[in-house]
Chains A and B, each alone.
Chain A
Amino acid sequence: MASSRGNVHSDTAKKEQIITEFFTKTLQIILESRSPYMSSRHYSGEQVVSSPSPSSSSSPSSSSFRTRDKWFNLALRECPAALENIDFWRQSNLEPMVVDVILVQRSIDWDPVNFSPQRDILKNPTLKEQVSNFMNLESEDPCVVEPRNEKVIERWVVQYESRKSRDGSSSGSKKSSGNLHSLYKKSIVLLRSLYATLRLLPAYKLFRDLISSGHIHTYTLTHRVSTFVEPFTRREEVDMQRFSFAPVDTACGRLCLSVLYRSIVSDGSSGPSTPMSPQFIPDYVGSPLADPLKRLPSLPRSHGSPSCSPFSRRHSWSYENYQASSPLNLPSPSPSPSPSPTYSDSHASVSKCRSRLPPPLSLPQHLPEAFQATSKNVGYDEYWPSPVFSPSPSPSPPMYIARTDASKALLRCESAPVSIPISKAFNREILRPSPPPKLTRAATLKSDRSTGPSGSSVEKFSLGRDESGRFSGLRISTNSSPGISFSRSSSRPSIPDDFDDAEFACPFVVDDDDMGSRPESLDQKGKPCDPLDHGGSFPVRTSQDAAVGALVLMLKKAPPLRQDSLMASKADIEEAVLKPDNQQQSQKGVCTNIQSSSLAMSRTTADALEELRSYKELKELLLTQGKSSQVIDK
């Protein structure tokens, strides 16, 4: 054990011995306040645990122990296990010593003998046992305890860094001896502070409870000594704090001591981990947005049927849509059961959403055809972005949640108005995307006319906005990141009043798009497939309910829809060409939502333009006729 003493002659040997003893003492000090098996605290000072091997007697008979105990002027009880470990260490002082203090959760079946309550009784007779326990904790425990939960709560690292050059060069024996004195004195101070620090760290409470209290614990402390550092995971490291003792710095080298410890240590079952999980979970569950996102990524890819995916996306996109559209029209058919749960979480109106969904089924057929013309390439692109969202649920969720909360409140209020509120939300989205007022104005004008055909003045207004949004969406969608678009959409809900059913349709459409090409992302706007999806959305424009139904249908019949979308995309392109202003808007980076709405709007605008043209023509005809008639009359 104390083999190095024979070399006392040379300073180097002395230094080596000091360092070796430092390692030993450090380990002993740590274990004495961390390992219940060798704690000195609850034994009388006289009850020194002698070395395990030769004699089990507790009497500190051998002088060698006492001598050794005086190292660093810190008298501790002899710690056999530590000494044995140290002997191992002596062979390589340059290797670091890593002492992990491990919190072990035990099942109730755990052997009571090892527990603190019994310890006092057992201590004298079972010194050997204790030692063996101490040494072999890990091997023994597994047999007794099946469910074993270990957690490193402290990691002590002791290291000696020698300065080879100086060591050899520093000639004067006086110097070196002075260095030795300095090394020794500073080591004393370091060990003192180590001793005090051990009792201030959180793990000490665990140890103290373990030793002192009479009741059985569901945990115990063990340790592991090694020469290498087993790296912590990032998650583990987050909970750890570091305390570095100032190294003992002498000409000979540096003795470094540091500890990584958990600032929060709970003796309870799961400890810190349990409290953490609940916190995170509630947020995700509670926020409808988060759920949608999660589902979205998985659903679109996994499910071949578009229906499922659309729902998921819808969630992500906006609650508003669901709320407004859902309840009224589509009570009967719930296209995608999976999405419904998410809805429920987010909104009380889940049922509404489901109901809404079914109606879309019927609508989609109609919508796609009509809407295809309007364009919806852009819309597709926009939708694509949304899929992107789904893939990256983690980043986006927070945004959604916040927005969703706001939207939820709004939605709830708005839910009564159903279709209108939803549209509003969309409109807002659209509006945001369409920064240029000019465009919007133009769009509104056109939309008004177009709406005229559709039937509702309100729609007209919304259409105007939609148009701008659409345009922006078409071209912009590529530029804009999906996440952004989502956020916009969410914020828009607050605005909801403006828009109509068409907006609803858009969200649905978006979902569809997501289903088909979501993974691809926003950039895909140009792709024909996206347009197809949009086409589906177009039908929605006509009426929210119809849009929902159309969406459902679209989802179910993905291939045909795509075709439609392609058609729609062409139409959109044409529209875009017609209205450069709108295109500019799209460039601004309107969100996908906007795009979808814009698509619906575009139809109206295009229609309106056509109508206008026809009106103009009629006007001209009338005028000409009138003129001619006048002339004739005259």
Chain B
Amino acid sequence: MNCEVSQLKELEVEHFEIREVLRCILHTIMFHRALGLVRPKDVDLELFDITYVQCGDVELEKKIDEKIDQFICWVEKHPNKKSQICLSFYEVKNNKAIWFSNKVERLYWEQWYINLNVAQHHKPTSSKSHHSKVVDSEGASEERSARRAAIEVSLREVLFQIIKFVNEKKDHIPPIPSREGISFPYEITIPSSSDTTFGMDMIKRMLQTGHPTMLS
């Protein structure tokens, strides 16, 4: 089984925007992958003029918020770093050979990489941003609103990117195992305390993807 990987467009966000942006993206992906019976729930973002859809699953909401909290903690400890959140879907297969090991084989069939570039709150915008530094408070507010609008556009693009990917890649989706809303097991990976570990995780996951028979 193939593992489809989607690298979402990088978003430049400020610290206080992380939560909403991540919620929006993660829930949108989950809504497209929770192929069981769901009762969709519209959510309007507070910071942006965007409406996204949740599955209406309390557990999922809770888990996503937990992961976002962890991610925000990590960002605070590692400022000025680009970060990546990975949402993976997999199938579980018991491997008799390693039954004793208590390990269950995870067959990843889809991975979403959310790329964030978190700007520091106190600093203006990172040098990368195209916004010119405006000293005036008025100018700053204008810049802020312009930046906000730019992020909204980018976020909308990411949401459409998700929708397009979901539309184009359908053959790799395994049969729907359950009638419950969250039909497929999933996993949200955030950078761990050490970058290297995170990187290793990613590499491992990639390898697993390539070779489904390997244990996670």
Given contacts A190-B167, A196-B159, A196-B163, contact A73 B32 (CB under 8 A): no
Given contacts A192-B166, A196-B159, A204-B51, contact A74 B176 (CB under 8 A): no
B85 CB-CB contact with A under 8 Å: no
- Residue interface mask A176-208, B partner, CB < 8 A = 1: 000001000110111011011101100011001
CB < 8 Å: which of A41, A193, A204, A245 contacts B32? A193
In the bound complex, what is the Cα–Cα distance between A196 and B49 (angstroms)?
14
Given contacts A41-B42, A73-B37, contact A195 B53 (CB under 8 A): yes
Residues on the B chain within 8 Å of A189, using CB: 32, 35, 166-167, 170, 173
Residues on the A chain within 8 Å of B28, using CB: 196
B133 CB-CB contact with A under 8 Å: no
A285 CB-CB contact with B under 8 Å: no
In the bound complex, what is the Cα–Cα distance between A195 and B50 (angstroms)?
14
Q: Is the CB of B173 within 8 A of A199?
A: no
Q: Is the CB of A195 within 8 A of B156?
A: no
Q: Is the CB of A185 within 8 A of B53?
A: no
Give the interface residue-count category, chain B: 20 to 34
CB < 8 Å: which of A73, A76, A246, A248 contacts B36? A73
Number of A-B contacts (CB under 8 A): 74
Given contacts A188-B35, A196-B28, contact A73 B49 (CB under 8 A): no
Q: Is the CB of A73 within 8 A of B173?
A: no
A166 CB-CB contact with B under 8 Å: no
Given contacts A196-B28, A199-B53, contact A73 B35 (CB under 8 A): yes
A622 CB-CB contact with B under 8 Å: no
In the bound complex, what is the Cα–Cα distance between A439 and B42 (angstroms)?
80
Q: Is the CB of A199 within 8 A of B35?
A: no
Chain B nearest CB from A74 CB (Å) reads 7
- Residue interface mask B149-173, A partner, CB < 8 A = 1: 0000000100110011011101001
Residues on the A chain within 8 Å of B52, using CB: 196, 199
List B residues 1-58 near A (Cβ within 8 Å): 28, 31-32, 35-40, 42, 44, 49-53
Given contacts A73-B38, A75-B38, A181-B175, contact A196 B31 (CB under 8 A): yes
In the bound complex, what is the Cα–Cα distance between A185 and B28 (angstroms)?
18
Residues on the A chain within 8 Å of B103, using CB: none
A70 CB-CB contact with B under 8 Å: yes
Residues on the A chain within 8 Å of B179, using CB: 73
Chain B nearest CB from A598 CB (Å) reads 55
Q: Is the CB of B40 within 8 A of A195?
A: yes
Residues on the B chain within 8 Å of A282, using CB: none
List A residues 45-96 near B (Cβ within 8 Å): 45, 70, 73-76
Chain A nearest CB from B170 CB (Å) reads 5
Q: Is the CB of B167 within 8 A of A45?
A: no
Give the interface residue-count category, chain A: 20 to 34
Residues on the A chain within 8 Å of B40, using CB: 74-76, 195
Chain A nearest CB from B127 CB (Å) reads 31
Q: Is the CB of A200 within 8 A of B32?
A: no
Closest A residue to B35 using CB positions: A188
Q: Is the CB of B50 within 8 A of A246?
A: no
List B residues 75-127 near A (Cβ within 8 Å): none
Residues on the A chain within 8 Å of B181, using CB: 73
Q: Is the CB of B39 within 8 A of A200?
A: no
Q: Is the CB of A193 within 8 A of B167?
A: yes
In the bound complex, what is the Cα–Cα distance between A477 and B52 (angstroms)?
65
Q: Is the CB of B38 within 8 A of A200?
A: no
CB < 8 Å: which of B31, B37, B49, B175 contacts A70? B37
CB < 8 Å: which of B37, B163, B175, B176 contacts A75? B37
Q: Is the CB of B51 within 8 A of A199?
A: yes
Residues on the A chain within 8 Å of B168, using CB: 246
Q: Is the CB of A185 within 8 A of B159?
A: no
Residues on the B chain within 8 Å of A45, using CB: 39
Chain B nearest CB from A259 CB (Å) reads 12
Residues on the A chain within 8 Å of B39, using CB: 45, 75-76
Give 26 A-B contacts (CB < 8 Å), ordered by A residue: A45-B39, A73-B35, A74-B40, A75-B39, A76-B40, A181-B175, A185-B35, A185-B170, A185-B175, A185-B176, A188-B35, A189-B35, A189-B170, A192-B32, A192-B35, A193-B166, A195-B40, A196-B163, A199-B52, A199-B53, A200-B156, A200-B159, A208-B44, A246-B164, A246-B167, A248-B170
Beyond the given A75-B40, A196-B32, could you list 12 further A-B residue pairs with CB under 8 A, ordered by the A residue number? A70-B37, A73-B36, A76-B40, A185-B35, A185-B175, A186-B170, A195-B31, A196-B159, A197-B163, A199-B53, A200-B156, A246-B168
Q: Which 8 A-B pairs give the minimum distances between C-beta atoms?
A: A246-B167, A75-B39, A199-B51, A73-B37, A193-B163, A186-B170, A192-B32, A246-B168
